[in-house]
Amino acid sequence: MTARPTVVVTRRLPGIVEEELSRDFEAKLSRDDRPLGAAGLQDALRGADAVLCTVTDRLTSEVLAVEPLRARMLANFGVGFNHIDTAAAKARGLAVSNTPDVLTEATADIAVTLLLMVSRRAGEGERHVRCGAWTGWRPTHMLGTEVSGKTLGLVGMGRIARAVARRTHHGFGMRVIFHDPYPPSAAEAAALGAEPRETLEQVLDEADFVSLHCPATPETRHLMNRERLARMRRSAFLINTARGDVVDEAALVEALGDGTIAGAGLDVYEREPEITPELLTMENVVLLPHLGSATQETRIAMGRRAVENLRLFFSGAPLRDRVV
What is the set of active-site residues? Answer: 243, 272, 290
84 DSSP 8-state letter: B
Concatenate the DSSP letters of all residues of 132-183 into one string.
Answer: T------TTTT-----TT-EEEEE--SHHHHHHHHHHHHHH--EEEEE-SSP
Concatenate the DSSP letters of all residues of 7-40 into one string.
Answer: EEE-S---HHHHHHHHHHSEEE--SS----HHHH
The dihedral of CA 81, 86, 88, 91: what is its sign? positive
Element (H, E) at 195: strand 194-196
- What residues pair up with 247 in beta bridges, in sequence order? 224
53 DSSP 8-state letter: E
- Residue 258 CA to residue 106 CA, distance in Å, equals 33
Q: Which of 94, 93, 88 is nearest to 61 (CA)?
A: 88
309: left (phi over 0), alpha (psi -120 to 50) or beta: alpha
Residues 241, 111 contacting (CB under 8 angstroms):
yes
184 DSSP 8-state letter: P
Q: Which of 43, 31, 32, 38 is nearest to 56 (CA)?
A: 38
Residues 179, 208 contacting (CB under 8 angstroms):
no
Q: Which of 135, 138, 182, 127 is nearest to 157 (CA)?
A: 182
